[in-house]
Structure 1
Amino acid sequence: PYSSLAHSAAATLQLCIGHQCLIFQLLHADTVPLSLRRFLNDPRNTFVGVWNHSDIAMLLRSEHRLSVSRVVDARHVAAERNGLSPQLSMEKLAEILLGAPDVRKPQSIGVSNWNDYRLSLEQIQYACVDAYVSFELG
């Protein structure tokens, strides 16, 4: 999700493996399970995203101070391997690389209030699309 503050902390952590997505609300969690911390720090795991350069810093700024071992921006991989522009959106990468022209991540949802205790259905869908497409691009 987008943030209006350049130096904000992450409110959520979105992960996907296969067809299983996890949206972990960091802001409302008293603790982060040790198994999740170990998973994030395991150098055998690579976390793929698009325009995710600030995600590591935002996770570190969260109350839980999460660190991630390896993060890859799919835009740069697509640029190196396929000669695509490194400025492409997730939607465009999904269309070109995955043959999925219907991926939508409305900016209005991305900039909505992710600090709410109850995320809206649209926010949940947005987070799952983000995590799933990132997984597929990886």
Structure 2
Amino acid sequence: MGFTREFMEVQAHGNTKLHLSISKDHSVLLFQLSAADKNCTRFNNFIADPRYTFAGFSINGDIEMLGRVGLEIATSSTSRRNGGLQEDELLQAMGFIKEFMEVQAHGNTKLHVIDTNDLHKAATTIEHYDRHLQFEHHKIVRVDVEYTNDAGEDQKPALVQLSVGKDHPVLLFQLSAADNNCTRFDNFLADPRYTFAGFSIDGDIEMLGRVGLELAHFVDIQNEWRVPTTTKPLDSLGDVSGILVHDGELTNAEHSRWACLSMRHIEFAAKDAYAAYEIWSRLTIVQEGLRRAKVDKEHTRKRARSCGNYDY
């Protein structure tokens, strides 16, 4: 059946909001061609009108696909090589903020995710983390770094993922797409009050160092815990957390492309950050509980000895 859905304030970048273009002041039309029960003559004539130039990224494939249903674009321009920039580089050149309020983690858990290269948005998210962590006994932050697809020494951090728990936003800060340093973000990573937890974190530390960033206090989860009496699989917390994000596992090709995130990238990165945070946070609490129990037991024994009561 026919349907119409309108969205009045879809976040684009900065303070620009779009009415779901020929520009930000006009509607963006998402026409579901395969779901239409008939041809729309006005639509067909519009894209075939030679007065208009239709621009897109690598548009030849789109032209071929439209031709399969009898549609033709009269005048087109590909933006694949606009000034020598690739598609992801063009997108990076603009500041952007994308927020997703209900990214499925597991079970009934849904995450608020912020994907951005905007310095102000990154800074305000870090301020939120600071306010939360100042009241936490264990100031744990899950950190993960994805890299650019460059070779050797040219490889740099592309994306930094941060999580402080399911009730707070997961920050996906696209570091390689930011036009400047974010001082609040840089200082947060270097703050010794916080414990940054990650898997095989040495590589991430080295990569951050290439752009002048430092993790002051960190723990490598991969080295801190093993499943008792295992013979693989699941011999580390990395394997355990992998179970929780298995459904959204990325292909090798997707793993090599972190400059411009698809929804699959965003879902995978958010779930990965959240799962690792939850596992390490809970294990830290258990470890502290065991230590306290051991200390209390020792104190009880000492009191019993001092009272001459050796029945323990």
- The answer to whether TM tops 0.5 is yes
The structure with the greater share of residues assigned to strand is 2
The normalised TM-score by structure 1 is 0.74
CA distance in 1, matches of 2:206, 2:279: 22
In structure 1, stretches of 5+ residues that fail to align are 96-100
Letter in 2 for 1:68: L
Q: Which of 96, 106, 113 is matched with 2:257 structurally?
A: 113
Matched residue, 1:78? 225
Q: Does the 8 Å contact 2:225/2:236 carry over to 1?
A: no
**Structure 1 residues 44 and 71: alpha-carbon distance in aligned structure 2, compared to 1, 3 A threshold:** same
Is 1:94 equivalent to 2:241 in the alignment?
Answer: yes
22, 43, 47: which is aligned to 2:171?
22
Say if 1:16 and 1:132, in contact at 8 Å, map to a contact too. Answer: yes
Aligned to 2:157: 10
Q: Which runs of 5+ in 2 are unaligned?
A: 1-145, 281-312
Native 8 Å contact 1:48 1:137 kept in 2:
no
Hey, what's the Cα distance between the residues in 2 that align with 1:32 and 1:78? 35
Deviation at 1:89, TM superposition (A): 6.3
- In the alignment, which residue of structure 2 is the partner of 1:49? 198
Alignment deviations for residues 53-88 of structure 1 (CA, whole Å, 9 cap, x no partner): 2001111223xx211112212121113xx6467963
Residue 41 of structure 1 contacts residue 67 of structure 1 at CA under 8 Å; is this kept in 2? yes
CA distance in 1, matches of 2:188, 2:244: 31
- Contact 1:3/1:111 (CA < 8 Å) preserved in 2? no
Shift of 1:3: 6.7
Distance 1:15 1:77 in 2: 20
TM-score (normalizing by structure 2): 0.36
Q: CA deviation at 1:2?
A: 6.6
2:170–2:273: 8 Å Cα contact kept in structure 1? yes
| Residue 131 of structure 1, aligned match among 269, 273, 277 | 273
- What residue identity is the alignment partner of 1:75? Q
1:10-69 Cα distance to aligned partner (Å, 9 max, x none): 10110001122000000110123222112111111111112222001111223xx21111
Question: If you compute each CA radius of gyration, which structure gives the higher value, 1 or 2?
Answer: 2
RMSD: 2.7
Q: Which runs of 4+ in 1 moved over 6 A?
A: none
Question: Is 2:147–2:158's contact at 8 Å kept on the other side of the alignment?
Answer: no
1:34 maps to what in 2? 183
- Number of residues paired by the alignment? 126
Identity of aligned residues (%): 30
* Number of the residue aligned with 1:98: none
Kindly provide the amino acid, as one letter, of the partner of residue 251 in structure 2: S
| Equivalent position SS for 1:11 | strand
Q: CA deviation at 1:135?
A: 1.2
